[in-house]
Each structure stands twice: as C-alpha cells, then as structure tokens.
Structure 1
Amino acid sequence: MPSTVRLDIPVLLPEAPDALDACVERLVKRLTGAPGLSQIHVAESPTGPQLCLHYDAKLLSPDEVRRKALQAGVEISRRFGHLVGWTQGVRHARHARSLEADLKAEPGLLEVGLDAAGAVRVEFDQNRITRDQLIKTLAGHGLTFSPSPSRPGLNTPQTTTPATTTIPGRRITPTMITPTEGFSAPTPN
C-alpha cells in the first residue's frame, strides 16, 4: 500500500494563481514517473488545493518526497512567471478581446487573460521575457499595469468639473456624485 504526502500548491508554486494553472500541470508531469512515486494528482482540502503524492515508503522517505516536489516547484517557478493584476486602458469587451489576441502573439507570452474591467492574468516564459519587459509590452499596447485594483480616481471623490461627452445628436454631461451623496439612510416620518 503506497504512502501519501500532501503539500499545499501555493508552497510549491507561489506565483501560480490557482490549481488550474498550467504550472500545476507541469509540476504533476515533471513528478510523474519519478522513481518511487506511483501517483501524483491535485486534491482539494479545507485549506485549499494540494498536490497529493503517493509513494513507495520502501524507496523514499516523506522528506525525500517533499524535497523532490519542492525542487520541481522551484525549477518550474524559475522558468515560468505570472503577472496578475489590473490594467488601465481597456475601453470595452471587444477591445479587451482584441488586446488579448494581440498579446498572445507576443514572444514569450504563454497564456493571456484580459477582461473589460481591466483584470489581467499573464503566464510567461522567463527565459524569453522578463517581468519588466512584459510590463513594457503591456504599455506598448496602451495598458498601464497595477498589481492591485486601486486605480486613479477609484474610491476618491472627484474635485474637477466633469467633462462633456458628445455623441452625434446627443450631448452628455456626467453627474458628479461624491461617496456620501446618494447613499443616505431614509429618515423616519
């Protein structure tokens, strides 16, 4: 009967955003077939996804299994990077899809996800492009990267006069609402 070691995926692959990331699959493939390991798979636990390693206790100790998994995780993390955060510059859903397709064609970018709200997730080959080069590549496509969703103007009251937007046949002036306006509790009669 094989013994089992379970390791938290964020410990093995700190930059992988979730258990569905391609790096988790790379880790499973790298460890599959290693001497003494009989089965490797992802398992859910109350603390999050874990890599479950079944091994022959006659050939490997639990520490050796952990060491093999950690070493494989380090090697994968050195090669593949992840950029997850927010961008400014996405105008609408179709623009996001167009930018996503353009970015997928860039050298060294393996997976790209970009939505209309500006959320971005990029997996890249660090042998071909660095994180700084990737951020410059995003800028070359008109996107400003931020690791957090706080963007200029978000959650801060505007102090300037709103711009007037002209659409053929219509003139639109946005209404200014400060954080306290429009959210008052009803007064009892």
Structure 2
Amino acid sequence: MSTPPTQADPAQLRAWLHGAARRDRLAFRALYEASAPRLYGLALRILGRRELAEEVLQESFVAIWHHAVDYESALSAPMTWMTAIVRNRAFDVLRHRRSTGEDDALDSAALASLADLAATPAERLQTSSEAQALADCMAALEARHREVIGMAFFHDLSYSDVANKLTLPLGTVKTWIRRSLARLHDCLSARGAA
C-alpha cells in the first residue's frame, strides 16, 4: 500500500464502476488498482492504524462490488461515492471501538471531521459544490423519502435493511428510492451538477 495515490480520470473510474456493476472482474480490478491507494490513505488518516485501515479498505471494496449497480453518476463523481463508503466504514469502526472500549487512543476529533484530507483544494471545492447541490436537491424531497435515500446511500444499508428499520414494506422503500433518485437526477440536471 505504499504506492503513491494516482489521479484516475473520473470517466474511466465511472466506466470501471459500471463494469463492476455488470460483474466484470477485470474492470473491478482496474478500479481497485486506480483508487485503492488514495482510499487506503483516507482510511489510515481517519483510523491512524494500518491494520484497521486495511480492514476498512477490504470491507469497502466488498461493498463497492456489491453496490456498484446502485451507483448513480448523476449524484456524485465515482471517487466521491467510493470515498463516502470508505469514510462511513472507517467512522463505523471508530464508533464501534469507542463503544466497546477497544481503543481509547483513537482521536475523537476524527469522528467530527468529514473532510477528505487526501483531496486537493480543487477536488475539495468540486466536492463542496457537488455536496451543496445534492443537499439542496435532497431538501426538496419529502422527509420520509430523504430518510430512505440517506439510509440506503449514505449509510450503505440494503433496501431490505431500510424497510426493516423503518417498518415499511420492501416495495414501498424501492418505489420511494426509485422516485427520489429520479427527482434528484432531474434537480441536479437542472442545476447543471449532473
């Protein structure tokens, strides 16, 4: 994991993600090779321990493989989407270790920090603009629809898990997510962020 991070072309990352959604192992391997060093660096910065960062990276790529079909290019750039998965998993590990008392030495400020420290200023500005556009479009959704989208995409829960947590029929959750994604796509397209 000592390879310096490379800047992969977002269009190429998107193509590899779509390939992974079709279960193309070569595309997934290329995606991994292009993005793993940077994502590992992010996990290491959050967790501060190599073994935890490696575990989070592995779990994140399993999630990326399983959820590549759910990736919506209109909602975020490929690296932004993958970074969110790694960041969420890393914070989950921090929370778990704190709640079980496994590691009191982990920096509590890391939980409050959501900035990708590996990003360049231009990437941070782009991510900030995309995040603001997404936040504005999310705010236009009905509260329950916002909730299911947040649970499914920002907390990486399966549709079944969302349905169980909210005690809703699975079909309802799927319909709300499908309609909400269409509304978000339209909103972001109208804002020029898609």
Q: Same fold (TM over 0.5)?
A: no
If you compute each CA radius of gyration, which structure gives the higher value, 1 or 2? 1
TM-score computed with the length of structure 2 as normaliser: 0.28
More helix by share: 2
TM-score computed with the length of structure 1 as normaliser: 0.28
